[in-house]
């Protein structure tokens, strides 16, 4: 259960950075952890979100929602897994939508890591104890290919490949509208949203370079499009942010402008019905992953079949535009 704490800034504390002020209130909480809470929107300064570096003033009220602590001990749990490949160094899965990759605040059980530990007993010990073997992630609602390290040797070499952008990642995504041109590349900086710290955004400075390539696979009356998307970098929410920036947010993504309200505004009644009935999540699927085996160096390619909700929506949209 989350704990709520409230602090009043005293005169002698005025001028401190917000993250340093919070860290000073609890010897067991690091400044980096406080900074993370601030960026996640868990900290309100006088009722509003603020940046970690914001200076506090005497009389300010700081309210914090402290997440429930997660035990570093992970108990293996059975979880249905779709294994695409496995050897002594790596395991590759087709992650189902709705599954969280690793334990964290609010997700102390039922994650992919719990299921993998039940399946293969050991994952790489490198990295965070709550993220054994995890070298990249997919959002909770995103389905598709995910590689996990079983050996420490594999972990370090996979991290190196991701860091050097030598891994090729290709996605399928349903988006509102139909991008023009039908294929292209977007290169921007992505950082925390200046107001809503839970979200990411295209920013002019203080962000990290993000490069996304897209190609339209199919379009239905220019109201919905199926895109093939390749990301050359791996920023948080990169595809979702870039599609919003292009004016074509993903179907089922209320965080970045593609939620039910936008779907209800689709002008074609049968397309609108198909989307409202067929979309129950952010429609993003990690279709293909290409990298070198971390130990043998052999080139490897894995593909995750198109998920059932993608196939069903395609069928419904085809029927919608065929009918007179």
pLDDT digits (tens, 9 = 90+) for 274-321: 999 999 999 999 999 999 999 999 999 999 999 999 999 999 999 999
Q: Are strands 61-66 and 3-8 parallel, antiparallel or unpaired?
A: antiparallel
Listed residue (267, 238, 96, 98) closest to 176, CA to CA:
267
Q: Are the C-beta atoms of 38 and 51 separated by less than 8 Å? A: yes
pTM for this predicted structure: 0.78
Q: Alpha carbon of 70 to those of 108, 124, 140, 231: distances in Å?
A: 6, 20, 18, 32
Q: Which CATH superfamily is domain 169-289+303-322 in?
A: Pseudouridine synthase (3.30.2350.10)
Q: Is 139 a catalytic residue?
A: yes
Q: What is the DSSP letter of 255?
A: G
Model pLDDT for residues 223-257, shown as the tens digit of each residue: 999 999 999 999 999 999 999 999 999 999 999 99
Largest CA distance in the chain: 73
CA distance 308 to 319: 17
Q: Are strands 43-45 and 168-176 parallel, antiparallel or unpaired?
A: unpaired
Model pLDDT for residues 181-216, shown as the tens digit of each residue: 999 999 999 999 988 878 999 999 989 999 999 999
CA distance 215 to 182: 6
CB-neighbour burial class of residue 323 (10 A; exposed 0-12, middle 13-18, buried 19+): exposed
Q: Alpha carbon of 88 to those of 78, 93, 97, 120, 151: distances in Å?
A: 20, 15, 26, 10, 7
Model pLDDT for residues 28-79, shown as the tens digit of each residue: 677 887 998 999 999 999 999 999 999 999 999 999 998 876 556 789 999 9
CA distance 44 to 32: 17
The count of residues in the chain is 324
Rg of the chain taking only CA atoms, in angstroms = 22
Model pLDDT for residues 87-117, shown as the tens digit of each residue: 999 999 999 999 999 998 778 899 999 999 9
Is the omega angle on the peptide bond into residue 181 within 30 degrees of 0, that is, cis? yes
Which top CATH class is 83-164?
alpha beta
**What is the helix (H) or strand (E) element at residue 190, kind and residue range?**
strand 183-192
- pLDDT score at 198: 81
Residues of the chain with CATH 3.10.290.10: 3-66
Residues of the chain with CATH 3.30.2350.10: 83-164, 169-289+303-322
Interior angle at CA 70, CA 98 and CA 91, nearest 5: 50
The residue with greater pLDDT, 323 or 133, is 133
Which top CATH class is 3-66?
alpha beta
pLDDT beyond 90 at 15: yes
Looking at 19, 139, 253, 309, which residue is catalytic? 139
């Amino acid at each position: 259960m989350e704990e709520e704490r409230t602090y009043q800034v005293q005169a002698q504390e005025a001028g401190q950075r917000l993250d340093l002020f919070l860290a000073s209130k609890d010897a067991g909480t690091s400044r980096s952890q406080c900074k993370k809470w601030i960026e996640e929107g868990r900290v309100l300064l006088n009722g509003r979100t603020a940046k970690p570096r914001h200076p506090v003033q005497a009389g300010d009220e700081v309210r914090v929602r402290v997440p429930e602590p997660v035990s570093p001990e992970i108990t293996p749990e059975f979880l249905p897994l779709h294994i695409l490949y496995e050897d002594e160094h790596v395991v590759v899965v087709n992650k189902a939508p709705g599954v969280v990759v690793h334990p964290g605040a609010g997700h102390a059980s039922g994650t992919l890591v719990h299921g993998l530990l039940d399946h293969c007993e050991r994952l790489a010990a490198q990295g965070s104890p709550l993220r054994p073997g995890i070298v990249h992630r997919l959002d909770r609602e995103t389905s598709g290919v995910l590689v996990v390290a079983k050996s420490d040797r594999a972990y370090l070499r996979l991290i190196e490949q991701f860091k050097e952008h030598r891994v090729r990642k290709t996605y399928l995504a349903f988006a509102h509208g139909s991008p023009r041109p039908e294929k292209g590349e977007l290169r921007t900086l992505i950082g925390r949203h200046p107001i809503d710290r839970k979200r990411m955004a295209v920013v002019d400075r203080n962000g990290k370079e993000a490069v996304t390539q897209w190609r339209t696979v199919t379009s239905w009356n220019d109201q919905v499009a199926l895109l093939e998307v390749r990301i050359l970098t791996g920023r948080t929410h990169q595809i979702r942010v870039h599609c919003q920036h292009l004016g074509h947010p993903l179907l089922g993504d209320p965080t970045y402008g593609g939620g039910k309200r936008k779907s209800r505004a689709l002008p074609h009644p049968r397309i609108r019905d198909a989307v409202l009935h067929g979309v129950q999540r952010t429609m993003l699927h990690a279709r293909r992953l290409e990298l070198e085996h971390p130990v043998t160096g052999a080139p490897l390619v894995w593909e995750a079949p198109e998920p059932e909700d993608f196939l069903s929506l395609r069928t419904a949209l085809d029927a919608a535009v065929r009918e007179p």
